[in-house]
Structure 1
């Protein structure tokens, strides 16, 4: 494998362009190890990134794939932490960038600092490895307890998928899975073989690690490993209009399908490690 390091400017943030020999590419910011673009070989952009996203230091970027750790909303193990944790708006470091004969990848790192310990008094090491090859985007989140205390965490890869029109989208693979509906504050079992969407939607599905999003002839297969929950979210027209970093019609052009560990947080003892993965595969029927 060959190794190269090239940084680009993305709205004032240093970015890494990952491109495999077959043309598949992704763009990752050092800010939050945030994937802001994925274009499969011979394909078009598959991620939604808000044209009004705020790239200021310390801000969370709307769209792409933010990394959520060690808390997910109010459902993680520590409700005193900021919403969705604190790693999505920290400066990560590039550990390595490589290109092989059939794929390309980059690994970014983040570890605890005085700033993070002021929020969460624990030692940790994180790595996010982003790989592209042909029609696939693979993300691997590695977590290690580098401190002296036991701690639990939640994690998610908060994937914003781009869609042409939300009402044309169908999401398959949820039938038979229990879910929490955050809008109704209720729990139920999904009985639809495919889900359609027309507005605000906010559910956490349990043990849903193999899903398929379709829109016309477009297909995006969503597979996860060790991230057993699936968060399906769309702000709908009213909440979207209230978001300063989204256009009013942005809700019609995205659907979050997130690989997550929320309902059963993971606990790591000093020296223990954990890895979760998500793989997205694009195809045309």
Structure 2
């Protein structure tokens, strides 16, 4: 079942329920902020203080970072992670493929607001398949007559039982840029989160595994040679108005991305697809 709903403030979202899973997608930002497989805990973390307001990004779920990731290199005063996550997207297609699989496609095109921040023409679609597994693909096409560079991400917040219970496998011996120390290091063994972490891993393996007690979640990605691992920890959580002070304990971000040197230049009429697939076991 696909239902269009809205909160009391008219903030619109889509609710999906099928025999395998349930999900919620905000039209602002094409933002998947809830996904839960039957008989499982929610895969995605959502802040108890998240904003569901026009023009404000939602803390949690899978924010879409486009056309830049992090700060804009040319004008740091522009919004962090670009404008896509606060723009209203258009629903292009809704399809119940079968009793346990639902397909939603949303689209973003240039408007007066986007052109003031980024003077290019583009066509962006987000394809989401909701079932026992979750698939999300961000497709960017350059519809301009000149090339442009994009630095994008599927900024996934995973819900975890407690940060002390998790480990991340699949990034052993991979180089990463540590944004906190501003240096490059090599990962030694599994990743454990015991302090603030803000890293961009280079050439990650095709499958990344998040272990949380007895639960195993696999992330497979395409169109990406970088993976961001992020947890704000104690002090930064206190500084975020849309995050509770202990929110860091029940989340970790593994972000399928085209970050830093993995930014992509698209020639006129060229496209790029960034895809992430999530499954249990």
Q: Is 1:87 the equivalent of 2:109?
A: no
Residues 2 and 16 of structure 2 are in contact (CA less than 8 Å); yes or no, is this contact kept in structure 1? no
1:202-233 CA distance string (max 9 Å, x none): 10001114210011111110110002211000
**What is aligned with 2:122?**
124
From the superposition, tell whether residues 5 and 221 of structure 1 become closer, same or farther in structure 2 (CA, over 3 Å). Answer: closer
Cα pair 1:156 1:227 within 8 Å, conserved: no
3-state DSSP class of the match of 1:100?
A: strand
Per the alignment, residue 36 of structure 1 pairs with 33
Partners of 1:129 and 1:183 in 2: how far apart?
A: 33
Provide the residue aligned with 1:196 in structure 2.
192
Q: TM-score, normalised by structure 2?
A: 0.94
Secondary structure of the residue aligned to 2:195 is coil
> What CA distance in whole angstroms lies between the structure 1 residues aligned with 2:79 and 2:6?
28
Separation of aligned partners in 2, 1:182 and 1:279 = 26
Q: How does 1:226-245 map to 2 (within 5 A)?
A: 226-245=223-242
State the 1:9 CA deviation: 2.0
1-structure distance, mates of 2:70, 2:7: 27
CA distance, structure 2, for counterparts of residue 37 and residue 191 of structure 1: 33
Q: 1:177 aligns to what?
A: 174
Q: What is the deviation of 1:77?
A: 5.7
**Match of residue 257 from structure 1:** 254
Report the number of matched residues.
276
Matching of residue 96 in structure 1 with residue 98 in structure 2: no
CA contact 1:77–1:153 (8 Å) conserved in 2? no
Residues 265 and 217 from structure 1, CA distance in 2 versus in 1: closer, same or farther, beyond 3 angstroms?
Answer: same
Secondary structure (helix, strand or coil) at the match of 1:6 reads strand
Cα drift, residue 23 of structure 1: 2.7
Alpha-carbon deviations, 1:25-74, whole Å to 9, x = none? 22111010001001013322111100101122111111110000111114
- Measure, in 2, the Cα distance between the counterparts of 1:269 and 1:215: 42
Secondary structure of 2:79's partner?
coil
Relative to the length of structure 1, the TM-score reads 0.93
In structure 1, the residue corresponding to 2:263 is in which secondary structure? strand
Structure 2 CA distance, aligned partners of 1:264 and 1:107? 26
Q: By how many angstroms is 1:265 displaced?
A: 1.1
| Aligned-pair CA distance for 1:236 | 0.5
Distance 1:255 1:124, change over 3 A: same
In structure 2, C-alpha distance between the alignment counterparts of 1:144 and 1:232, rounded to whole Å: 27
Query: How far apart, in 2, do the equivalents of 1:255 and 1:79 lie?
Result: 28
Q: Deviation string for 1:1-30 (max 9, x for gaps)? A: xxx75311246421112233x331221110
Q: Which residue of 2 aligns with 1:161?
A: 158
Q: Match of 2:110?
A: 112
Contiguous gaps of at least 5 residues in structure 2 = none
Gapped regions of structure 1 (runs ≥ 5): none
In 1, the alpha carbon distance for the partners of 2:255 and 2:109 equals: 23
Provide the C-alpha distance between the structure 2 equivalents of 1:53 and 1:120, rounded to a whole number of angstroms. 27
- Alpha-carbon separation, structure 2, partners of 1:218 and 1:18: 24
Q: Does 1:53 align with 2:50?
A: yes
Matched with 2:23 is 26
Q: In the alignment, does 2:43 pair up with 1:17?
A: no
Cα distance in 2, alignment partners of residues 79 and 282 from structure 1: 40
Tell me the secondary structure at the aligned position of residue 51 of structure 2.
coil
